[in-house]
Amino acid sequence: QSVLTQPPSASGTPGQSVTISCSGSSSNIGSNTVHWYQQLPGTAPKLLIDSNNRRPSGVPDRFSGSKSGISASLAISGLQSEDESDYYCAAWDDSLNAYVFGTGTKVTVL
Amino acid sequence: EVQLVQSGAEVKKPGESLKISCQGSGYSLPSYWIGWVRQMPGKGLEWMGTIYPGDSDTRYSPSFQGQVTISVDESFSTAFLQWRSLKASDTAMYYCAGTRAGEVLPFDIWGQGTMVTVSS
């Protein structure tokens, strides 16, 4: 089982904001950068947030990341129907010597 | 367009061997770290391991060490994920993913995935 814990689901109506949490420990989030991936239904994952809060080119500024201590968050503002997807946090874990993904959060746009 | 292109879906029997591939298109593999990620049906993402094609430096997840082999070909243009003896529990989608130049993580570019089905 994953060492990064996310809520299994989150939802909102179009235009609302949604925040997804990612809880880890001192050996992963506490000491390394956090990445976020978006996986649209039936497709490969896509890098959404790099280095805790940096958006790769092409990622809308509606997506933002933050990190504090051993937790991180992904915020989606101005929710759109195309944001309906699975979202995963990830970080390197110094104790496990492994890149660990979160449990994943399914975002539904109501 | 820069992309990673993976080999097609496979259907195998338990005990059989398998090698799936990941080739760069407009993406020079020797310059980037290439990782493999498993996604079992209806489940989350799991990092299996990563290789630097330039010198074949390979790092495995403890969960997959000894279970699979990650390699590259002699021209460093194709990365592989290999099993010696498949199990039904290996049924999953497998993604290769690449990083930006000079970085080990994160995975900036992803292949389309290879579905592996192991069933008697």
Residues A45-87: pLDDT tens digits? 999 999 999 999 999 999 999 999 999 999 999 999 999 999 9
- Reply yes or no on whether the pLDDT at B2 is more than 90: no
Q: Which of A99, A103, A105, A106 should one mutate to test binding to chain B, selecting the residue with the greatest count of B CBs within 10 A? A: A99
For residue B80, pLDDT over 90 is answered with yes
Chain A residue numbers with beta carbons less than 8 Å from the beta carbon of B105 are 35, 92, 99
Place of tokens 């996986």: A39
Q: pLDDT per residue over A26-41, tens digit each? A: 999 999 999 999 999 9
* Confidence bin at B28 (pLDDT 50/70/90): confident
Contacts of B9 (CB under 8 A, 6+ apart): B114, B115, B116, B117
Residue B42 structure tokens: 């209806």
> Which phi-psi region, left, alpha or beta, contains residue A106 (left: φ > 0; alpha: ψ -120 to 50)?
beta
Using CA coordinates, name the residue in chain A closest to B47. A99
pLDDT score of B9 more than 80: yes
Residue A45, token pair as written in the block = 């994952």
Say yes or no: A44 contacts chain B, CB-CB below 8 A.
Answer: yes
Q: What are phi and psi of A41, to 5 degrees?
A: -50, 125
Using DSSP, how many helices (H) and how many strands (E) does chain A show? 0, 9
- Give residue A1's pLDDT band: very low, low, confident or very high (50, 70, 90): low
